[in-house]
Structure 1
Amino acid sequence: MTASRPSARAATALSTMPALRQEARRLARICRLAPDTVARLVLTVSSLAASTLREGRSVTLGVDTGVAPPPAAGHAVLTLEGLNATGQPVPTDLPLPPAHTRPHSVTWHLPLPDRPGPFLPSPRAGSPTASDTDADADAYETELRAALARLDGLERQQQLLEDELSETNDGVLALYLQLEEREEQLRWAQGQTLLAMEDALRPAAVSVAGLELAVHYAPSDPAAPTGGDLYDWFQLPDGTVHITVVDALGHGIGSTKSALSVTHAVRTLALEGHPLESILARVDRQLSPIVPGLQATALLARLDPATGALTLASGSHPPALLLRAHDGTTAFLSARGRGVGYPLPGSEVLRHEVLAPGDLLVLYTDGLTESRRDPLEGEARLVAAARRHANLPLAEIPAAIAADMHTVVLHADDTLALALRRTPRPPHPRQTFAV
């Protein structure tokens, strides 16, 4: 409130509802209130004074623009006095709640416009007349129209905001669909890359008379192409088939690199003719200086397809499972030894067996049997799964076993299952000689 604004106090005794409403409108116009605020003020004073006026008493409505202490500075203080002391609190749901309440009066602080000159005109002479009823009705209609106009304006603003929001949402949805389509394209491209990487890591299939081979591999993370579980198979010059199964510590590309290092070193040493029992120790000596931190378990198998002679060398790896065809008996073929990167690495003893035609041998990594964190329970389930699927074509057996073993997975890990089976060798064609 400016210092030049004079203080003024005007109060009128009012005994009828039309007169009270008219005076409230007059004072509101003096304070230059917005039409919807005028309507709120009129409804509020009418509600508060209704019981007093019905009893034939009068109330006083006045305004003082010279109150300086906060929070009234720059405000007109409008007071309604003469209310009955009923002991009932002032309702909290009034259209224009007062700032202060006392037993016989209530007070509002109404913000004043910032304009110079006299603020309150001289009080109107005389008391409200009967014609005030018509004026009251006209004022009500005017206030109602103003309130409806403000409501319509707010509704139009709301509609504009909703339209803008709808356009924004449509734009966001279109962008989301574009991003989703782009992500799908990236997933497809990534999938193709992963397949190409898997094909690059997968050794060529071995075709040997009297022997079937099949493998199933699944990474712990479907988004990762490979892990630390890897295999290798190839035929040696003497006709025996060499199989390597490796489980390198870790996941992802780093563990794949470690597993590749081990399988390549094993292949090189095997083709050079080193004894099977010495290979893992030699691999450790070769790789430890150049692959720091490498740790990997490994299982090496040599099989003579002609005789069924099987030799196993293990380095801390889960034992192979043998399922006999003639009686359905099973055995885990364990062989003592420590893996690459472990203390005292190498094979301590070799395990020798003979596979008969139809016998099934399953080599695997611990991700197959430890999916429920209980290796012994996993081995029992592996035996049951191998027996259940032994009569399937060999190409289907590894994946079928893995599906059974992973019905419940409590600990996701890379999984490798490799199966081999001896088949009857075809007889050599009988030679005939011309006479």
Structure 2
Amino acid sequence: MSRLFWDVAVLREEVRDLARSYRLPADVRGRLVLSVTDLASPEFEAGHPVRLTSVFDGTRGVPQLNLTLTAPRAARPPRSAGLPLTAPETSANSVTWHIPLPDRNAGPFEEAPARSPASLPAQVSAADEELRAALALADRLSAQHRLLKHELAETNAGVLALYVQLDERDEQVRKAHGQVLRELEDALRPLPPEIDGLELAVHYAPADPAAPTGGDLYDWFALPDGTVHVTVVDALGHGVRSTRGAVTVTHAVRTLALEGHPLHSILARTHHLLMPFNADLMATVLLVRLDPATGELQVASGSHPPPLLARDGSAPRFLEATGRGIGFPSPGSDTVLRERMEPGDLLLLYTDGLTESRRDLIEGESRLVKAVEQHAHRAIAEIPDAVAAEMHTVVLHADDTLALAMRMTAKAPAATGTRAVHRLPAQGGRADKRSIG
């Protein structure tokens, strides 16, 4: 079939009848009618005719209707993009649709007779059918959209519930991890020895609260002659790896001290003992010995911050002892500093996390002197925590922090026999966040 048309209404009904004769679905029919009339309308407005040609093709696996709209006098090629029904084939003045037919055995019906006014109800009925098909499609799409939204909401709720479960699981793992580390910390931390005339307390805070073990460790114990030995270690790094290094140092120092080696030789001996097993180990170490009966104090240092001595009636002062730490060149203490403590004197041992929290060592040491002056009158169990809180009002550089306080209360009575000292098993210790008095 090939006909020339001058009127859009006649063309529209011709296309509709043709589509119905080939049993095209109402929604496809409606799209085809709109596409043909959209392309033909500009030509009709310009006073130009269009030609509609239909060909049935039954040679393919699926029979199809090939419908071509030609505008012989078109000023420009007809557009094919954005049509309700896509036209895969275009030329300079024509557009062709290849429409698969729903019935494989379908062929063209007999051409519809010429229209008359009596055929108007049939035209309206066909248009209504196309409109109903379009509305039904819109309803289906709307229903599918609602279903997708519901499924998406359920999926989102499931994902949210999964996130909540994972977060709860992570929290449980973090708590279990923290509990294991706290138990490890408790296993490494010795209780203070009970010694007449001497009070002891300690504070520890990690650089990372999620990793409460670190490289700042301490150890305190009584030697056979009744003097008290204290070791403070700051191993390079953070976390469990630095803890391992600090533990080996404290254990080596304890062993050498209990074997009776002189204080000035212990740091160098510790270095030579440990380097073959851990060549990467680096640690600053402070060794202090105090005779509670006489107040005699000895200090040996390996690159460690100096202890601070506070005495009533005078400003606190640092007890400087030179030396180099474990893993440093020429390790060992150059000299042993000797001092005498009197009843009421307070000695504070610490790591650099206490004085370098604001990245200024000189300013940190000045503030430490003022903090000790301010809090020295407190009970011994409160002093390390109070000093640490005063020093950490502003933290620009987070680091493990240890503060250990020793205070002479009264000279222990000199006795010809064994002094009143309760000794602990030989083990290194880990500092605690809580004060121990």
Q: Does the TM-score normalized on the shorter chain lie above 0.5?
A: yes
Please, which of 87, 91, 95 is the counterpart of residue 84 of structure 2? 95
3-state SS of the aligned residue for 1:395?
A: coil
State the distance in 2 between where 1:36 and 1:382 align.
Answer: 87
| Number of the residue aligned with 1:112 | 100
For 1:275-312, what per-residue CA distance to the aligned partner results, in whole angstroms no more than 9, with x for missing partners?
21111112223323344433221001122335443321
Native 8 Å contact 2:293 2:412 kept in 1? no
Deviation at residue 74 of structure 1 after TM alignment:
8.8
Please, which of 204, 214, 220 is the counterpart of residue 191 of structure 2? 204
| Number of the residue aligned with 1:43 | 34
| Number of the residue aligned with 2:173 | 186
State the distance in 1 between where 2:291 and 2:387 align.
Answer: 25
Native 8 Å contact 1:19 1:132 kept in 2? no
Residues 106 and 286 of structure 1: CA distance in aligned 2, closer, same or farther (over 3 Å): same
Segment drifting more, 411-420 vs 169-178: 169-178
Superposition map of 1:332-343 within 5 A? 332-343=318-329
State the distance in 1 between where 2:363 and 2:78 align.
Answer: 75
State the distance in 2 between where 1:298 and 1:406 align.
Answer: 23
Residues 278 and 94 of structure 1: CA distance in aligned 2, closer, same or farther (over 3 Å): same
For 1:165-189, what per-residue CA distance to the aligned partner results, in whole angstroms no more than 9, with x for missing partners?
4444444444444444443333333
| Number of the residue aligned with 2:432 | none
TM-align CA RMSD:
3.8
The TM-score normalised by the length of structure 1 is: 0.78
Native 8 Å contact 1:294 1:340 kept in 2? yes
| Number of the residue aligned with 1:331 | 317
Superposition map of 1:380-391 within 5 A? 380-391=366-377
Q: Does 1:219 align with 2:210?
A: no
Residues 144 and 384 of structure 1: CA distance in aligned 2, closer, same or farther (over 3 Å): farther
Letter in 1 for 2:351: T
Letter in 2 for 1:260: V
| Number of the residue aligned with 2:382 | 396
Letter in 2 for 1:39: G
For 1:24-51, what per-residue CA distance to the aligned partner results, in whole angstroms no more than 9, with x for missing partners?
3344446765543433333344444445
| Number of the residue aligned with 1:236 | 223
For 1:183-234, what per-residue CA distance to the aligned partner results, in whole angstroms no more than 9, with x for missing partners?
3333333333222211111011133343332212233333334122110112
| Number of the residue aligned with 1:11 | 2
Native 8 Å contact 1:362 1:420 kept in 2? yes
Residues 345 and 137 of structure 1: CA distance in aligned 2, closer, same or farther (over 3 Å): same
State the distance in 1 between where 2:77 and 2:294 align.
Answer: 107
| Number of the residue aligned with 2:417 | none
State the identity as a percent: 54
State the distance in 2 between where 1:84 and 1:387 align.
Answer: 105
State the distance in 2 between where 1:95 and 1:392 align.
Answer: 88
Superposition map of 1:9-408 within 5 A? 10-29=1-20, 34-50=25-41, 52-53=43-44, 58-64=49-55, 78-82=67-71, 94-96=83-85, 105=93, 107-113=95-101, 119-121=107-109, 123-126=111-114, 128-131=115-118, 133-327=120-314, 329-408=315-394
State the distance in 2 between where 1:168 and 1:57 align.
Answer: 57
| Number of the residue aligned with 1:433 | none
Letter in 2 for 1:304: D
Native 8 Å contact 2:355 2:391 kept in 1? yes
Deviation at residue 263 of structure 1 after TM alignment:
1.0
Native 8 Å contact 1:61 1:78 kept in 2? yes
Number of corresponding residues: 412
Native 8 Å contact 2:352 2:401 kept in 1? yes
Deviation at residue 392 of structure 1 after TM alignment:
4.2
Letter in 1 for 2:16: R
Could you list the runs of 5+ residues in structure 2 that have no partner in the other structure? 415-437
Residues 375 and 102 of structure 1: CA distance in aligned 2, closer, same or farther (over 3 Å): farther
Native 8 Å contact 2:292 2:412 kept in 1? no
State the distance in 2 between where 1:133 and 1:377 align.
Answer: 101
Native 8 Å contact 2:249 2:270 kept in 1? yes
Letter in 1 for 2:201: A
Native 8 Å contact 2:325 2:332 kept in 1? yes
State the distance in 2 between where 1:106 and 1:390 align.
Answer: 101
The TM-score normalised by the length of structure 2 is: 0.78
Native 8 Å contact 1:18 1:132 kept in 2? no
3-state SS of the aligned residue for 1:362?
A: strand
Residues 313 and 153 of structure 1: CA distance in aligned 2, closer, same or farther (over 3 Å): same
Deviation at residue 364 of structure 1 after TM alignment:
1.8
Report 1 or 2 for greater relative contact order, CA contacts < 8 Å, sequence distance ≥ 6.
2
Native 8 Å contact 2:267 2:326 kept in 1? yes
Letter in 2 for 1:423: T
Letter in 1 for 2:194: S
Native 8 Å contact 2:15 2:33 kept in 1? yes
Native 8 Å contact 1:49 1:83 kept in 2? no
Please, which of 393, 404, 417 is the counterpart of residue 403 of structure 2? 417
Native 8 Å contact 1:11 1:60 kept in 2? yes
